[in-house]
Amino acid sequence: MAIIIDGKKIANDLCKKLSQKINILKVEHNIFPCLKVILVGSNPASQVYVRNKQKKAESVGINSETVVFSDNLSEDELIEKISELNKERFVHGILVQLPLPNHISASRVINTVSVEKDVDGFHDENVGRLVKGERNCLIPCTPKGSLDLIKLVESNLSGKNAVVIGRSNIVGKPMFHLLLQENCTVTILHSQSKDLAEYCSKADIVVAAVGKPNFVQKNWIKEGAIVIDVGINSVNIGGKPKLVGDVDFDGVKEKVKAITPVPGGVGPMTIAFLMINTVIAACLQGKVDAYDFVSSGL
Ligand code: NDP
């Protein structure tokens, strides 16, 4: 019987422990972690994500505010707002909800956020630190949360074959580096890759981040593998919208050691790790050793 990894419970437990650490930060270090979320436009999915982030922040004791701008905000106006927030000492984390409207360069915006406040871990400098395997850097939340789930099933990943499907900057590529740091032998697959089934069939760990429902099939997967389904796809079943992942969950779960469901797998971990990153950012700016403070006991 496969372990169905309960990301929701694991994320809730993480947040409870984090909340205690936030209290210590407040009482012993006079640091009150604060996250500012910037939303440009009225994309309904983004509005839901931002609301969930804000609710979770409040529940763990992080001060959080969402700053909403209309679709016609110019790139320069957004850059100016971020530059102001960079200077505000009480703001520890800045998250710009993606996607941005087409007239705004996401890359310029992301790289305007100060490196120490970049809780999404998308700034070029944080990407470089991740590639070099440095401590105390801000790592993208979804891959970090996914790795956490994998390590709860199998603590030592050394020598394991891992396949990551998808090479986006926010999921696939950072996932590749995190698994590499765990001494896995990592293959990354993308839309131009051939023989996906063959690569997957040799993998002890498969992380799917494609954005296509039921993409990963049962016959691709090795017996006893760990499968992490990052995908979130809305499909119509019997006239009703339903969220599904990238993996044929019902088929694949029959042969794996562990698998994440959608919803309730990676999604809640992404939000939990945003909270953790905000606390890491607060530590970095408050000159508290973030790695020791946040990592121990979580
Ligand atoms: P992107 O669209 O940025 O990337 C998708 C990747 O899948 C690309 O690298 C693309 O390859 C690859 N791909 C597309 N088609 C194929 C194919 N036929 N075979 C192999 N690879 C293919 O998506 P994201 O990385 O942003 O997100 C992926 C999924 O994860 C989405 O469903 C998204 O909603 C979800 N997501 C979930 C999160 C969570 O918290 N659970 C957080 C972030 C994302 P190429 O580069 O060649 O185009």
Confidence band of 34 (pLDDT split at 50, 70, 90): very high
**Three-state helix/strand/coil letters over the chain:** CCEECCHHHHHHHHHHHHHHHHHHHHHHHCCCCEEEEEEECCCHHHHHHHHHHHHHHHHHCCEEEEEEECCCCCHHHHHHHHHHHHHCCCCCEEEECCCCCCCCCHHHHHCCCCHHHECCCCCHHHHHHHHHCCCCCCCCHHHHHHHHHHHHHCCCCCCCEEEEECCCCCCHHHHHHHHHHCCCEEEEECCCCCCHHHHHHCCCEEEECCCCCCCECHHHCCCCCEEEECCCEEEEECCEEEEECCECHHHHCCCCCEECCCCCCHHHHHHHHHHHHHHHHHHHHHCCCHHHHHHCCC
- Per residue in 159-217, pLDDT tens? 999 999 999 999 999 999 999 999 999 999 999 999 999 999 999 999 999 999 999 99
| For residue 263, pLDDT beyond 80 | yes
Note the CATH number of domain 141-267.
Answer: 3.40.50.720
Domain boundaries, the chain: 30-114, 141-267
Residue 17: per-residue pLDDT: 96
Average pLDDT, the chain: 96
Which residue lies with its CA nearest to atom 35 of ligand 1?
231
167: CA distance to ligand 1 center in Å?
7
Which residue lies with its CA nearest to atom 3 of ligand 1?
168
Mutate to test the pocket of ligand 1, among 49, 141, 232, 262 (most ligand atoms within 8 A of CB): 232
- The residues that are catalytic are 53, 97, 120
Which CATH superfamily, name and number, covers 30-114? Leucine Dehydrogenase, chain A, domain 1 (3.40.50.10860)
Mutate to test the pocket of ligand 1, among 191, 192, 215 (most ligand atoms within 8 A of CB): 191
Q: Say what the pTM is.
A: 0.97
- Per residue in 89-133, pLDDT tens? 999 999 999 999 999 999 999 999 999 999 999 999 999 999 999
169: CA distance to ligand 1 center in Å?
10
Which residue lies with its CA nearest to atom 31 of ligand 1?
211
